[in-house]
Chains A and B, each alone.
Chain A
């Protein structure tokens, strides 16, 4: 039985988004106590010969991932368990110039949120303007989506880090390699509102060089999305993939630097899900070759 919207929202406000796993049906999806399900969807066709993202393919990957995450055969039913009227939904994207969230994926999320019954005027996609965006100011639910890449201060740009734009002073969270990013998830306006985390692994970046922190040679076509309810298991899985790629390309002496320990700390200190691979049920869909995890 699906709980009423009122019941669900009240529960989320009290316990935080991580607990949404249980209420939204993760138990039916096979997640046991202290465990988390993460779905890795990979399709080579997501990139065309010129390296552009295919809108229809990434949309289908998203839906396949969300359906598998919640154990539903029908993606539409799965989305209705993530958002429902009268939710007001913010889609927190990331528009970092060299490697942004694909607009095709932003559009796919918006489409599915509306198809789940949310009014179009109650959905917004934003990044750096979230604090002044009127939809985000009244949001009841947040979908968090960004590409995975290495980062100068936090080691990795993760789903956990993607909400830093909601902080009054983002630099307050930069100490000790951004160790306390998980705290943002316990404070308004983020606390209890994140319903879905999507880590874009289509062309992830395994290393950073120079003032612009980017070179195309530092990315590779991985053709993937990681989808989960909690940020930590999603980010931890992505971090394993990045580390494996670094090992392959840079050798054993070049671990991710600085250490992305904000992921483990967000789990152990802030209750945002397990980071231990042994506690993560990784569901794999599609392309299996060179998965690195």
Chain B
């Protein structure tokens, strides 16, 4: 009942694959999440977390607990985004996109990002993690669209698992170091999609940001040019070549850490051409 009132899935399962709920689910909001996941709560707030429903499951003798966390995010795009930030390991067939690594199943579906985590990974706990994850996925009736910005990144040369969607500068820093003061102007009103690409001679980072309006895009472009470019031309920094270009009046592409001027411009051209 409470979960339904909060817009969360109707219920977390009471048991699955021999793991039984150790108690009722706990609910956390943006203020209390730090009591639950000390040191990491800000990641979910960076994607507009509205609530988190958490439940612990005790396993058979000799097995560790499994913890299921269901995060209600601000939008399906944010649920997709926090999944791209968090994924680890191999792809799994749960929800809309999923991964499994180090005992943790992560997936997104609709507005929800879900994690099922085995404190002690064993073949049995892996079975339980997937059973619990699938039960939660089935309880979430809605689905959501992946953000168009992420879909617009070129696919050629994109390293597996490197695409990330975000709208907070702290998240960008975790994937593409850009230095202090948020020089790309990423934020709640300026979401970004980023990926690492294989290019001639190495790898390069591509970040595409969609600004609220042309003025915001222009201001960010000028700031980036001051810090990273030679005027508006590509420039070489300690960690590689940088380049930038407008894709639309609100959307701009930035290339960082390219091994050569040519590879930076090539990746920029691919971004301007959209997904091949």
- A interface list, Cβ under 8 A from B: 96-97, 151-153, 157, 171, 174-177, 179, 207-213, 215-218, 253, 257-259, 261
What are 26 A-B interface contacts by the 8 Å CB criterion?
Answer: A96-B38, A97-B38, A152-B42, A153-B42, A174-B170, A176-B180, A207-B102, A209-B86, A209-B101, A209-B102, A209-B104, A210-B86, A210-B88, A210-B102, A210-B106, A211-B40, A211-B71, A211-B86, A211-B117, A212-B40, A215-B104, A215-B117, A216-B121, A217-B102, A258-B177, A261-B177
B115 to A: closest C-beta gap in Å: 5
- B39-A215 in contact (CB<8A): no
Shortest distance in angstroms between B208's beta carbon and chain A's nearest beta carbon? 20
- A215–B102 Cα gap in the complex (Å)? 6
| Top-4 shortest CB links A-B | A215-B102, A176-B180, A210-B104, A258-B174
State whether B44 touches A211 (Cβ < 8 A).
Answer: yes
Once bound together, how far apart are the Cα atoms of A182 and B228, in whole Å?
26
Question: Known interface pairs A176-B180, A209-B102, A210-B106. Does A257 touch B174 (Cβ–Cβ under 8 Å)?
Answer: yes
A179 CA to B121 CA, complexed, in Å: 35
Q: Give the CA-CA distance A149 to B86 in the complex, in Å.
A: 17
Contact A209 B88 (CB under 8 A): yes
Interface set of B (CB-CB < 8 Å, partner A) = 37-40, 42-44, 67, 69, 71, 86, 88-89, 101-104, 106, 115, 117, 119-121, 159, 169-170, 173-175, 177, 179-182, 203
Interchain CB contact under 8 A, B39 and A213: yes
B124 to chain A, nearest CB (A): 16
A163→B219 CA distance, assembly (Å): 36
The chain B residue with its CB closest to the CB of A215 is B102
State the CA gap A157–B38 with chains docked (Å).
Answer: 13
CA distance A257 to B85 in the complex (A): 12
| Nearest A residue to B64, CB-CB | A216
In the bound complex, CA of A216 to CA of B115 (Å): 17
